[in-house]
Structure formats: C-alpha cells, structure tokens
Structure 1
Amino acid sequence: MIVLRKFNNFSLFILLILPISSKFNHSDAVDNESCYDKERPIDAKNKYLPEFNIEDGLYQKWSKIFDAIRLAHQNYSEPYIDKNNVTSCTLFLPSIDSDLRYFEENFGSNFITEELINKMIADNRGVHYQIVGKRLYRQSNCMFPSRCQGIEHFILEIIDKLPNMDLIINVRDYPQVGRYFSNDQQFPILSFSKEVTSYADIIYPAWTFWSGGPALDIYPNGIGRWDLIREKLLKTQSKLPWTKKKNIAFFRGSRTSSQRDPIVMLGRSRPDLVDAKYTKNQAWKSKADTLGDEPAKTVSFEDHCEYKYLFNVHGVAASFRYKHLFLCRSVVLNVESDWIEFFYPYLKPWIHYVPIDKNFDNVVEVLEFLNDNQLLASRIAKRGFEFIRDHLTMNTIRCYWQNLLTLYSDRIISYRPMKPDPNLIEIY
C-alpha cells in the first residue's frame, strides 16, 4: 500500500508493506500488546512508520502536531551505544564542554589561581572540597549532609584517577553564578541544575543519584538511590503494558512553584483528562498552600506507572522526578522550561517526550491528540523509556563525574594544592 501525505508545501511518500488482506487499524494495533512490548527497533528505514501511516481525516484534524512530529524526526539522529563499553558517557560530554567554554571565553584558560580559590571560599556560595594525593577533603560543615554524601560517594569512586585540585560545589537548590553578575563575581562553581539563560554554573550529576532528594512522608530519607529505584520501576512497568494503563494525565507534587498551578486547576475543571493535586511539603501551613483543597496523599513513583501520561514541571529548580517518570514507560508531558540537569538537552520533544507550552495553552489539545493517536503515544513512551534505561545508568554518572573533574582541572585550573588545607576534614 502506498500512502501519500502532504506536509506543508511538499509531499512525503511512504511505502509500507502489509499483509495483503489486512487494512491497518490503529485501535487493532494498540489493543495488541506486541506494538508496545515487542516493537521492532526504530531506525533510519522505519522511524516514520507507523506514525505517518495516517488517514486523511486524522491528518487534517491534527496536521499542526503531525508536522511538528515529522520535523522532530527529520532533525533527530539515534545516539550510538557502544555495547562493549557500558561505562561510556560520550553522549553527554558536550554539556561539560559548553559549561567550561563559557569560563574560558570570558576569563581564559587555566584562570583559577590560589587567590581566586580563596575568594571563592570566602564568598561561601558552596562547599569547599579538596583533592590531594588521591584523598578527598571537605570543610567540616555541610548545609545538607545527605547531599554532600551523595557527591562524595561518586568522587571517592574515581579519586584514584583525579589530580590535585580545589572545588567549590553548591548543594543548595538554586544556582549561584548569574550571567548578569559582574565578572569579579562569576566564579566557576559546580551546581546540580541551572536555568540556562540566566546562570553559568557548571553542572554536575545531582546528589540524588546516590542519596538525599526531597524528604516526603513515603520517602522520609529522600527518594533514594537511583540504581535501586531504577530496578523497582523497571519491574513495575514490565507488568503494565500500555493497554492496561489509565487513559489520563497524572500529577502529584507539592506547590514548590506557582508554575504548577495550571495543572492542578485543569484537574479540577477537566477530571476526564487530568488527575492533578497538590501534596503537603515542609512549608505547608494551610489549604491556601494547596489552592484551597486539603493536601492529597503522596503517590509513589511505582504507582505513577499506572497512568499513560505523566506531567513534569520544574519546582524551585529542575525537578528530580523527571528521570523517574520515563521509567514508567508512560508518555512524559514536559512543560517547557529553561531549567536543566546535565542530561536534559539530549531528550528531544516528540521523540522522547511530549512538549507542553509553558503557559499551558496547548495542554488540552495535546491530550486529545494523544488519545486519538494511541499507537504514536505508546512509541514516544517507548523511546523515552529506552533512552533513560540505556543511557542514564550509575556507570554513566561515574563516567560523567570523572570527565567533568578531569576536564575542569585540565582546562581552567592553574593552582594545585600540594598538601591538604588544615581547616578541612578527610572524607573516607
């Protein structure tokens, strides 16, 4: 069967070979779990199929979104995975280069002197760490001990491969190096997240890959180790094929940002499309903090997997939930934002997730589109799931830390301590 579909001012020809006596039917394909669990790999030859084997009426109804999806596929190349090197993080290294290049272009190579280190310590925007003789040292006080523990775990794992250096690592939620700061205040500080248009912090993998994270009633010590929760989510999603998930968009979280309000309000006006409620956090004082309702119960990540569509929207900074949602093998509805962690730029709209306008102007339209195109939705969920499963491993995190600190040392450091600062304590 040859299908001709017009996109803008040109035509896309797709040749699709089907069993002679069968007529393609979207509902039949979605009801068959093989389209979800045993789908053939998406490569250069078939990446447009069956997304663009669509009926005329359906295309006319959703032409704007179908055109956006086509363009996303045209501009996307599948990342290479070296099956023989599970410790590789090559895919993410451009982020390190970009972060360091900002400082090189503004201050030159190897500009970190002993004098600058002392200024950064006195400025107190982060925790002072020092690596000397393959040993790790830190200032005695850490504002968030579990966050420091998460950072130290990974540095200690690679300490034998690192040269002597001083580091200032921010463990607050908010970045510390505004691009609008005067040059004498733009220090090369490491932070887990930043808003890329306004901040120049050098991003490191968040402490939450090992410890810390938001303390909730069901996670009193934080969300927990990434490797352990990965295994839980992988097992959970394997028992929930697409056809068994609830056909609704879901959100549970605290009101750490008013950016999340439209999701909750939409849940009240369109409960047929959205189940979104605020939960209680440490700052909760009254129902005013949950937009007039009693706070909802916290929902585990495993229970999120029961829903086909999962909202992600930033809070104080980038949201820790983001990576977890993909492992539900549900469609992640990512609200547009300039807040990132190190891996965000490599997840692409309409390939790995569905973009939601930051003003929520398109959210109802998008949800109705996904409900009309279940096979397409399940394939986006699959690609997002596989990206996080394959690329965001603990080996990747170790690799990123090693490359980050090695390149930081090689490219912007000139001063190297020869003996530990006596004001620091050793971390084992």
Structure 2
Amino acid sequence: MDEFCDTAPCLIFTVKCSVSSCENVSLRQSRIWGPGLKSDFRLPVRYFFVQLVNKDGSNVTTSVGKKIVSALVSPANGDNARIWTEVLDRHDGSFIVRFRLFSSTSDLKVAVTLRGQHIADSPYTITGPVYHETCNCPNQTPDQWATSVGCAVTYNQIRLDLEPFKDINMAKVAREAVERFNNKGHHSICHYKIIDNKIYRKCYGEHVGFKMFMDSILLSLSRKMVLPDTEFFMNLGDWPLEDRLVSTSGPAPLPIFSWCGSKKTRDIIMPTYDITEATLEMMGRVSLDIFSTQANTGPAWENKTSRAFWRGRDSRRERLDLVVMGRQRPELVDAKLTNMFFFPKDEQKYGQLARHISFFDFFKYKYQLNIDGTVAAYRFPYLLSGDAVVMKQDSEYYEHFYGDLEPYVHYWPLKHDLSDLLEIVRWAKKNDATMQEVAKNGQRYARENLDPASIMCYHVRLLQEYTQLLHSKPKFNKGFELVEQPSESNNCKCQKYKKQVHEEL
C-alpha cells in the first residue's frame, strides 16, 4: 500500500512477489533510468523508469505479479521531508516510479528493490537541492532547464504555427485583438505579459475563468527558470479564433495562442489545458494523467472485449449517431451517453443515460472511439497511452501533437460521419495482430512524447521561439494585473546546483 509520511525514512512500497514469478529476473542486468534521478530535473513530479531483464538478457515483457517493485525515497542526511511516491506497474515488465515533494530538501537517497534486493545500481543519490513544486527558485535559463529536462530542440507544430509571423508589433496586435475578439458572451481572451520573470495579464470577455490554467503553467515555469520578456494573447475558449488566411492582399492573421487548432484557422497551438493541468497536478488533485493510464490498461489484450467503446456527452451530432449505431449493433459497438446538454432527450432513440465509469475501465475493450466534442476530444492522449487501438474520427480540429501521428500506424482512422465504423470493427476482429500492433505503436508514442517533461518543454520552446519574433520587448501598462505566486512560494532556500553523483541514468 501507499504510505504518506513526513518523517524520514519515508514512503515505502511493499513488494509481494512469489519466488516462481521473480526467479528468472536478473537484478544486475535490469535497468533503471530517467530524469527524475537528477537534482536539476525540475517538474511538479519527478519520475524515472525500471525495466526488469531476464537472466538471458531479454526484457521481461509480461506482468510478474502485483507490486513487484519497491521504492524508498528519503533525505540522505536523515532530515524530515514530505514526499509522496508511487510505483506504477505497466504490466509489461516495466515500471514508473514517481514522487512529489511537498517541501524542499537536499541530497535524496532513492532505493529501488525487488523482494528486498537492490535493482541495477540502486541506491541512487540525488545530490544537491531538490525543490518542491511551489518553491520559487528560478536559477536556470530556459535553455539550461531544457537541457536538464531533455527537451527537443524544437517541434514541427511550433514551426508551422509561427511561420506566418515575422515581425510582431504587439501594440498593433493588441488594438486589433481587443477590437475583434472582445465580444461579450462570444469570446474571452487574455493579454499576458512576462516582464522581469513576473506574470501580468489583462482579460477581456465575460467568461474568463479558464485564465487559471494559463496562470498556472506560467507561474510554474517562472519558479524554475527566468522566462524571456514576452507578451501574447491567449484564447480562453474552446474554438480557435483566427480565421484570416495568409495572403498578400487581405489583413494578416493575428498571433493568438489557443489550446486547439483547426484546418480553417491559424491559431498558435499550445498543449491543452487538460493535459497541462494533469501534468501540473499529477499526484495532486487529479487522478487521470498520462502515467496513471499506463498502469491501468485493463485486462491483457487477449482478454479484452472486441468491441468499439465510447462514453460521453451529446456535444456533437456524430456522437448521437454513434449511440444509435450501438443500439442497433451492440455486438460491435458499445456507445452510451452519460449526459445530455445540447440536444433534446429521447430515451426511445438514444436509451437511458449511462452511469459514469472510471476511465480506466474503458480499457476492458480493444477498440476506443475518439469522437470530437465541441472541438477535438481531449481524451485522445490518455486513450493512446492505454493498451487499446484508438479509432479516431476524421476531424478539422487538432491538438499540438496530432501532426506527429500516422493513420494506420498510431491509430485507425474513421470517416467523419462514422459510416465506415461497423465495417472497420468487423475487419479488426478478423485482423487482431494488426490491431494489437497499432495499439502498441500508439502507446509507445504517448509514452515517449506526452510525458510531463514533453508537455512543459513544448510550452518553453514555444515561448522562446515566439519571443524571437516580437518587434520589441513588452512594457508594463496600467490596467494589467500581477498574477501572484502561491503564498508559500518563497518559503525555501534557493541554492546553486551541485555536480550529480550519477551523470548518466
């Protein structure tokens, strides 16, 4: 069981493993790696990975029992520290070990064991200051932080989104953006400025509550590094805003940041507020995140139900059509509405509303349906990370990572009207090995590209590259509000980093 304590030693996971399930594992050849074993890896949650290896040198590829791996995280000097840790079994011989600090400390000791015996080079020492999430110690440049976290140099979607913008005059952008998008009841936007690593904003529109998501990521980043002085407009709504085409005759598009893009608009796309919050609040107030799905992938592939599965609300006509399809062909499609807000209720046509179930229970089914809601369905990253094939509706909407994905490789495409769904499900049932391979490809992509580091890296790289396009540095204007750091953010001692004991992990 998980233990939460505020004295050292802290946070022990008990290992329960039969001799027969573990006897072929080589402790020495098994591998432990990941950025969470470095002190300058500053994210809300630290994490690293464990891969069990057989004595013949091959990776263990199946689950070998519940809670096979134990992790102990404690200050090396015996000081008290509030830390919460989890060992997540991915049921394929690999594990995620993640831990979140609720107070800063120094020189952590991390022991990872199998049946009480150390794995690989355990125990590890994280030497130097280890800061908790709300600690305000921006002692790195963005490039230093990016190097320590392992960020990509750039992202294709950023390059595409910024291509129309060469010399951004924010005084002009501000006048036009407020004039065009300050429509009460229709649009909500915020003008953000980062000056001397402080966050300021001025919002326009009636419903601006979603500013809290943009506030949170900017505050988190500014506690870790000194962000470049910059300014931008953030769209707080679901729909992308900038519908101007790039042309030589008409007015130029405005650089507007949004959480969702479309083929008809030119907004600059950021990771959605959903996956960003799941990253910031991991092991906090959210239970669904990119790691939790990897540890809750349902039964083994051969024991999953060979039907297409969907649950959700009635935010698009195709969703209603899907439910009707499922009622007509329940042996192929299990689709039910959980809420109705947009269309009239009709139990005779759509059936009774289904009770909400855990997202993890979705993975009892081999085929997961990703159908647009008001815009793109933001569940897509979590569906990819599970052990199932994502059958995705053709859509004009996209998130920041969609351009990396290949149909028939990472997911299985569906026509927009879902008219080919039944045929595809029938085909899938006869071509199980192909479907399983697509499921593994999607899962691999999510593991490597949608982890917490990747989500925060994307924000940092976008701010860096966008800022280079500004005509001039931002200046403070009256009417802008300072976005305050959490009250406890200064209750920590900021230090310079020391050399790591384990440089390569």
Same fold, judged at TM 0.5 (above): yes
Report the Cα offset of residue 290 of structure 1: 9.3
CA distance in 2, matches of 1:140, 1:359: 38
Residues 203-256 of structure 1 show CA distances to partners (whole Å, capped at 9, x for unaligned) of: 1111112439xxxxxxxx9xx97885223212211x521012111110111111
8 A contact 1:142–1:148 mirrored in 2? no
Distance 1:208 1:242, change over 3 A: same
CA distance in 2, matches of 1:356, 1:335: 5
8 A contact 1:313–1:334 mirrored in 2? yes
CA distance in 2, matches of 1:163, 1:423: 22
SS at match of 1:278: strand
CA distance in 1, matches of 2:208, 2:293: 27
Report the equivalent of 2:335: 276
Report the Cα offset of residue 417 of structure 1: 2.2
Distance 1:291 1:139, change over 3 A: farther
Report the equivalent of 1:230: 290
Report the equivalent of 2:127: none
Task: Return the structure number with greater helix share.
Answer: 1
CA distance in 1, matches of 2:194, 2:161: 21
Give the letter aligned to residue 318 of structure 2. Answer: Q
Distance 1:96 1:274, change over 3 A: same
Distance 1:377 1:225, change over 3 A: farther
8 A contact 2:190–2:234 mirrored in 1? yes
Report the Cα offset of residue 154 of structure 1: 2.0
Distance 1:186 1:354, change over 3 A: same
Equivalent residues in 2 for 1:96-115, closer than 5 Å: 96-101=158-163, 103-104=164-165, 109-115=166-172
Report the equivalent of 2:480: 424
Report the equivalent of 1:157: 220
Equivalent residues in 2 for 1:253-268, closer than 5 Å: 253-268=312-327
User: Which of the residues 298, 303, 318 maps onto 2:376?
Assistant: 318
8 A contact 1:147–1:211 mirrored in 2? no
Equivalent residues in 2 for 1:22-421, closer than 5 Å: 87-90=150-153, 93-101=155-163, 103-104=164-165, 109-123=166-180, 124=182, 125=187, 126-139=189-202, 147-159=210-222, 160-179=225-244, 183-184=250-251, 186-196=253-263, 198-211=264-277, 229-237=289-297, 240-281=299-340, 283=341, 286-288=344-346, 291-411=349-469, 413-418=470-475, 420-421=476-477
CA distance in 2, matches of 1:337, 1:178: 17
CA distance in 1, matches of 2:159, 2:286: 25
Distance 1:183 1:225, change over 3 A: farther
Residues 261-283 of structure 1 show CA distances to partners (whole Å, capped at 9, x for unaligned) of: 332121011111001112215x2
Moved over 4 A (4+): 36-39, 140-146, 180-183, 224-228, 289-292
Distance 1:110 1:349, change over 3 A: same
Distance 1:306 1:86, change over 3 A: farther
CA distance in 1, matches of 2:348, 2:383: 23
Residues 345-390 of structure 1 show CA distances to partners (whole Å, capped at 9, x for unaligned) of: 1111111111112232322221111111112211111110111122
Which of 110-119 and 310-319 deviates more?
Answer: 110-119
Report the Cα offset of residue 309 of structure 1: 0.5
8 A contact 1:153–1:210 mirrored in 2? no
Aligned residues: 332
- What 5-or-longer segments of structure 1 have no aligned partner? 1-31, 40-83, 213-220
Report the Cα offset of residue 115 of structure 1: 3.0
CA distance in 2, matches of 1:171, 1:186: 18
8 A contact 1:236–1:328 mirrored in 2? yes
8 A contact 1:128–1:169 mirrored in 2? yes
8 A contact 2:191–2:202 mirrored in 1? yes
CA distance in 2, matches of 1:161, 1:268: 55
Which of 144-153 and 342-351 deviates more?
Answer: 144-153
Report the equivalent of 1:57: none
8 A contact 2:392–2:413 mirrored in 1? yes
Report the Cα offset of residue 285 of structure 1: 7.1
Higher relative CO (CA 8 A, sep ≥ 6), structure 1 or 2?
A: 1
CA distance in 1, matches of 2:241, 2:431: 43
8 A contact 1:130–1:136 mirrored in 2? yes
- What 5-or-longer segments of structure 2 have no aligned partner? 1-60, 64-89, 94-146, 486-505
Report the equivalent of 2:17: none
SS at match of 1:157: helix
CA distance in 1, matches of 2:358, 2:481: 37
Distance 1:390 1:225, change over 3 A: farther
8 A contact 1:250–1:275 mirrored in 2? yes
**Normalising by structure 1, what TM-score?**
0.70
8 A contact 2:320–2:350 mirrored in 1? no
Give the letter aligned to residue 203 of structure 1. Answer: I
SS at match of 2:468: helix
CA distance in 1, matches of 2:329, 2:285: 35
Percent identical among aligned pairs is 26
Distance 1:142 1:235, change over 3 A: farther
Give the letter aligned to residue 201 of structure 1. Answer: D
